[in-house]
Structure 1
Amino acid sequence: MRIAITLLLIVLMGTSHAQQPALRSALGGKPAVAATVDVAEERAKLETQLGETLRQREAELPGARETASADSVRAADRQRLLDHLAFLQGERIKRLDELGALQKAPPFTLASLPVVHAIGATPPYSALAVDALRDELAGVQDKVQALDSGLSARESEKQILVEQLRRADEALRLAADRLALTGNDGNGLVARWEHEQVELRRRTAEAELALLAIDIDKLKLQKSAFVVQAQEMQALVAKVLPAQRISEQDLKTLKERTTAAEEKLREETDKVRRRQSAHEKEQKELSASGPPTDGERLQRVNFLKQALIIEGNILEGLNGLQLLAQLRTDIWEKRYLGQASNDMLQQRQMLLSFNKIHQGLVSRKRLSLEQREASAVAIRDLETKVANLPPGSTEQQLAREEWALLQEQISVHERLESAASRLERQLSRWLADFNQNADGSLTGRAGALGDQLHETWRAFWQYELFAVEDVSDVDGRKVSVFYGITVGKSVGALLLFVVGYWLFSRLSHLLSKILVSRFGISNQLASVIRRWMMILLALGLIVFILNLARIPLTVFAFMGGALAIGVGFGTQTIIKNFISGIIILFERKIRVGDIIELGGMTGHVTAVDLRATTVRGFNGVEALVPNSSFLENQVVNWTYSNQQLRRELKVGVAYGSDSEATTQLLIKAACDHQKVLKTPAPEVYFEDFADSALLMVLIYWVELGPGTVARRVDSDLRHTIYRRLTEAGIAIPFPQRDVHLDWARPVPVIMMDGAS
Structure 2
Amino acid sequence: MKKTWPARLPRAWILLLLMSIFMALPTAGCGAVLPLPGSVPLSSSGEGVAQEESFFTPEKIKQRIVEIEKTIETLQSSQPLLTSEQVGLTEGEINSRLKGLESLIALYQRYLSVAERAKKTQSDFEKQKAESQKDIAALVPDNPPYSLSFYENYRGRLETLSQEIDTVTYAIRLSESAIVSLKEKIRQNEQHLAMLKEEQTPSKFSEWVQQEVELETEKNRLSLAFREKNVEESRLRFDMLEMERKNVTEGMKWIAQHLQYDEADLKRQVSLIKERERQLQEQAETLRQESEKAREEFMNAQARAESASDAENLSLYRAQQSEKETWYVYYQAAMDQAEQAQVWAEETREIWETRYSLLEKKLPTAELIKRRTETEMRKKDLDNVLLGLQKMQVSLQSRLLTLDSSMASESESSPLYRVLRQESEGLKKQIELNGQYMTSLLSISMLNTRLLEELESLLSSVTITEKVSVASLERLRAFLNFQLWSGDGFSVSVKKLILAVIIVLLGFIASRKATKGVKQYLLRRFEMDPTAAMAIQKGLFAILVFICILAALDMVNIPLTAFAFLGGALALGVGIGAQNIFSNLISGLILFFSKPFRVHDIVEIEDIVGTVEEIESRSTRIRTFDNVDVLVPNRYFLENRIVNWTRTDQVIRGKVKVGVAYGSPAREVERLLLVAASSHKDILTMPEPYVIFNDFGSSSLDFDLYFWVDMRKASRFVAQSDLRYKIIELFEERNITIAFPQLDIHFDKDVSHNMAIVNHPQGKEASRE
Q: Is the contact between residue 126 and residue 250 of structure 1 (CA under 8 Å) also seen in structure 2? A: yes
Q: Is the contact between residue 355 and residue 451 of structure 2 (CA under 8 Å) also seen in structure 1? A: no
Whole-angstrom CA distance in 1 between matches of 2:139 and 2:163: 23
Whole-angstrom CA distance in 2 between matches of 1:98 and 1:292: 70
Q: Is the contact between residue 50 and residue 89 of structure 1 (CA under 8 Å) also seen in structure 2? A: no
Corresponding residue for residue 631 of structure 1: none
Is 1:446 equivalent to 2:468 in the alignment? yes
**2:168 paired residue among 117, 124, 147:** 147
Q: Where do residues 159-238 of structure 1 align in structure 2 (5 Å cutoff)?
A: 159-178=180-199, 181-183=200-202, 188-238=203-253
Matched residues, number = 448
Q: Is the contact between residue 389 and residue 438 of structure 2 (CA under 8 Å) also seen in structure 1? A: yes
Is 1:85 equivalent to 2:95 in the alignment? no
Q: Is the contact between residue 53 and residue 85 of structure 1 (CA under 8 Å) also seen in structure 2? A: no
Fraction of identical pairs, as percent = 13
**CA 210–371 in structure 1, closer or farther in 2 if over 3 Å, else same:** farther
Corresponding residue for residue 332 of structure 1: 352
Is 1:302 equivalent to 2:322 in the alignment? yes
Whole-angstrom CA distance in 2 between matches of 1:351 and 1:216: 44
Q: Where do residues 733-752 of structure 1 align in structure 2 (5 Å cutoff)?
A: none
**CA 200–29 in structure 1, closer or farther in 2 if over 3 Å, else same:** closer
Q: Where does structure 2 lack aligned partners over 5 or more consecutive residues?
A: 1-26, 489-571, 579-769
Q: Is the contact between residue 354 and residue 427 of structure 1 (CA under 8 Å) also seen in structure 2? A: yes
Whole-angstrom CA distance in 2 between matches of 1:27 and 1:356: 63
Q: Is the contact between residue 130 and residue 237 of structure 1 (CA under 8 Å) also seen in structure 2? A: yes
SS in 2 for 1:244: coil
**CA 316–168 in structure 1, closer or farther in 2 if over 3 Å, else same:** farther
Q: Is the contact between residue 25 and residue 31 of structure 1 (CA under 8 Å) also seen in structure 2? A: no
Q: Deviation per CA, 1:514-539, whole angstroms, max 9, x where unpaired?
A: xxxxxxxxxxxxxxxxxxxxxxxxxx
**CA 17–97 in structure 1, closer or farther in 2 if over 3 Å, else same:** closer
Corresponding residue for residue 308 of structure 2: 291
- Shift of residue 443, structure 1, vs aligned partner: 0.9
**1:122 paired residue among 129, 134, 144:** 144
Q: Deviation per CA, 1:303-348, whole angstroms, max 9, x where unpaired?
A: 2223333443444444444433332211112233344425221222
**CA 105–276 in structure 1, closer or farther in 2 if over 3 Å, else same:** farther
Q: Deviation per CA, 1:244-298, whole angstroms, max 9, x where unpaired?
A: 1342222222123223444554566566555544433333333444337414333
Deviates more, 1:219-228 or 1:373-382: 373-382
Q: Deviation per CA, 1:418-443, whole angstroms, max 9, x where unpaired?
A: 33334333433443344334334231
**2:371 paired residue among 339, 350, 355:** 350
- Shift of residue 32, structure 1, vs aligned partner: 7.3
Q: Where do residues 417-496 of structure 1 align in structure 2 (5 Å cutoff)?
A: 417-437=438-458, 438-447=460-469
Whole-angstrom CA distance in 1 between matches of 2:265 and 2:271: 10
Whole-angstrom CA distance in 2 between matches of 1:315 and 1:424: 21
Whole-angstrom CA distance in 2 between matches of 1:377 and 1:323: 31
Whole-angstrom CA distance in 2 between matches of 1:428 and 1:286: 46
Whole-angstrom CA distance in 2 between matches of 1:432 and 1:193: 68
Q: Is the contact between residue 83 and residue 89 of structure 2 (CA under 8 Å) also seen in structure 1? A: no
Whole-angstrom CA distance in 2 between matches of 1:218 and 1:54: 32
Q: Is the contact between residue 144 and residue 255 of structure 2 (CA under 8 Å) also seen in structure 1? A: no
- Shift of residue 230, structure 1, vs aligned partner: 1.1
SS in 2 for 1:182: coil
Please tell me the residue identity of whatever aligns with 2:297. Answer: E
Whole-angstrom CA distance in 2 between matches of 1:52 and 1:379: 52
**CA 400–47 in structure 1, closer or farther in 2 if over 3 Å, else same:** farther
**CA 304–126 in structure 1, closer or farther in 2 if over 3 Å, else same:** same
Corresponding residue for residue 674 of structure 1: none
**CA 304–342 in structure 1, closer or farther in 2 if over 3 Å, else same:** closer
Instruction: Output the TM-score relative to the length of structure 1.
Output: 0.50
Whole-angstrom CA distance in 1 between matches of 2:178 and 2:353: 50
Please tell me the residue identity of whatever aligns with 2:114. Answer: R
**CA 415–84 in structure 1, closer or farther in 2 if over 3 Å, else same:** same
**CA 252–20 in structure 1, closer or farther in 2 if over 3 Å, else same:** same
CA RMSD of aligned residues (A): 4.7
Corresponding residue for residue 20 of structure 2: none
**CA 143–53 in structure 1, closer or farther in 2 if over 3 Å, else same:** farther
Whole-angstrom CA distance in 2 between matches of 1:82 and 1:158: 22
Q: Where do residues 629-668 of structure 1 align in structure 2 (5 Å cutoff)?
A: none
Please tell me the residue identity of whatever aligns with 1:252. Answer: K
Q: Is the contact between residue 311 and residue 405 of structure 1 (CA under 8 Å) also seen in structure 2? A: no
**CA 163–338 in structure 1, closer or farther in 2 if over 3 Å, else same:** same
- Shift of residue 56, structure 1, vs aligned partner: 6.3
Whole-angstrom CA distance in 2 between matches of 1:93 and 1:396: 50
Q: Deviation per CA, 1:124-175, whole angstroms, max 9, x where unpaired?
A: x201211221111121122112211221222122212221222122222222
Q: Where do residues 32-71 of structure 1 align in structure 2 (5 Å cutoff)?
A: 41=59, 44=62, 47-48=65-66, 51=69, 54-55=72-73, 58=76, 61-65=79-83, 67=85, 71=90
Whole-angstrom CA distance in 1 between matches of 2:92 and 2:574: 72
**CA 377–243 in structure 1, closer or farther in 2 if over 3 Å, else same:** same
**1:134 paired residue among 155, 158, 161:** 155
Q: Is the contact between residue 298 and residue 328 of structure 2 (CA under 8 Å) also seen in structure 1? A: no
Is 1:405 equivalent to 2:450 in the alignment? no
Corresponding residue for residue 372 of structure 1: 393
- Shift of residue 353, structure 1, vs aligned partner: 2.0
Q: Is the contact between residue 161 and residue 245 of structure 2 (CA under 8 Å) also seen in structure 1? A: yes
Please tell me the residue identity of whatever aligns with 1:427. Answer: N
**CA 150–391 in structure 1, closer or farther in 2 if over 3 Å, else same:** same
Whole-angstrom CA distance in 1 between matches of 2:70 and 2:406: 46
Is 1:257 equivalent to 2:272 in the alignment? yes
Q: Is the contact between residue 169 and residue 202 of structure 1 (CA under 8 Å) also seen in structure 2? A: yes
Whole-angstrom CA distance in 1 between matches of 2:270 and 2:230: 45
- Shift of residue 234, structure 1, vs aligned partner: 1.2
Q: Deviation per CA, 1:209-253, whole angstroms, max 9, x where unpaired?
A: 233223322322222221221111111111120221342222222
Whole-angstrom CA distance in 1 between matches of 2:407 and 2:114: 37
Q: Is the contact between residue 286 and residue 301 of structure 1 (CA under 8 Å) also seen in structure 2? A: yes
Corresponding residue for residue 548 of structure 1: none
SS in 1 for 2:198: helix
Corresponding residue for residue 254 of structure 2: 239
